[in-house]
Amino acid sequence: MDRKAISDAGLQVLFAERPSLLADHGFTTGFLPLVSFEKPAQPSRMKIGVQSGIGCAPEGLPAEKRNLTIVPDDFQHEQATCFNIKGKGLVIMTSCGHRGIVNSVRGAIKVSGINKVHAIIGGFHLMPMPLEYVRSTVAALKEINPDYLIPMHCTGTPFYDVARQELPGRVLLSSTGTRFTFGT
């Protein structure tokens, strides 16, 4: 992120390691623990430090990573954004889901204390994963029993195929410009 440009625009970035309330009606999960079979794929490395206002700020990292130069990105910083829709349950939005979509959902359930999941939307980061891993993910999501799955950009066709078979009528296809409205 270009921190100077953000500051010049009059915006403030708040970094929250723990769950946080958003605009009095949503919440973030905070850091997502690895509680399922899912493990983050590590296709990249992070260079620690900020140069010319751009980069990874060490103070936002766990203490054991702050003094390193380059580390594998375990996506420990990734979070989910969630809303509780009255009478329907949680809507859980991921970014790219590097920590695992099941870990993200279980993190949201733990933070909120709400077991009913209405919709899971976002990247499920399953494109590079083997088919058996995808099947395990679908089985775990089926156990959670969401009303809708809305996988996006990095999920991959194998997930759509397996999920549509295992959860008929619950997998919605999304593309650029698609709008979803969740309400009571």
Instruction: Encode pLDDT of 103-136 as tens digits.
Output: 999 999 999 999 999 999 999 989 888 999 999 9
pLDDT value for 80: 93
**37-75 pLDDT tens trace:** 988 876 678 788 888 777 777 877 778 888 888 887 777
Q: Where in the chain is the domain with CATH 3.60.15.10?
A: 7-40+75-184
- Residue 31 burial (CB count, 10 A): 17
Structure-token pair, residue 48: 């620690």
Between 183 and 175, where is the model more confident?
Answer: 175
In whole angstroms, what is the distance from residue 101 CA to residue 104 CA?
5
E strands, 59-151, are 70-72, 81-85, 89-93, 117-122, 148-151
Find, among 101, 136, 22, 100, the residue nearest to 92 by Cα: 101
Structure-token pair, residue 107: 């993190």
pLDDT reading at 184 higher than 90: no
pLDDT reading at 16 higher than 80: no
Query: Any idea what DSSP says for residue 16?
Result: -
Q: How many helices (H) and strands (E) does the chain have?
A: 4, 10
CATH of domain 7-40+75-184: 3.60.15.10
In whole angstroms, what is the distance from residue 92 CA to residue 80 CA?
7
Percent of residues, the chain, with pLDDT higher than 70:
98
Element (H, E) at 160: helix 157-166
pLDDT band at 21 (very low <50, low <70, confident <90, very high): confident
Asked whether the beta carbons of 91 and 85 are under 8 A apart, the reply is yes
Between 170 and 153, where is the model more confident?
Answer: 170
Asked whether the beta carbons of 3 and 53 are under 8 A apart, the reply is yes
pLDDT reading at 97 higher than 90: no
In whole angstroms, what is the distance from residue 62 CA to residue 85 CA?
33
Tokens 């078979």 map to which residue? 165
pLDDT value for 43: 65
Length of the chain: 184
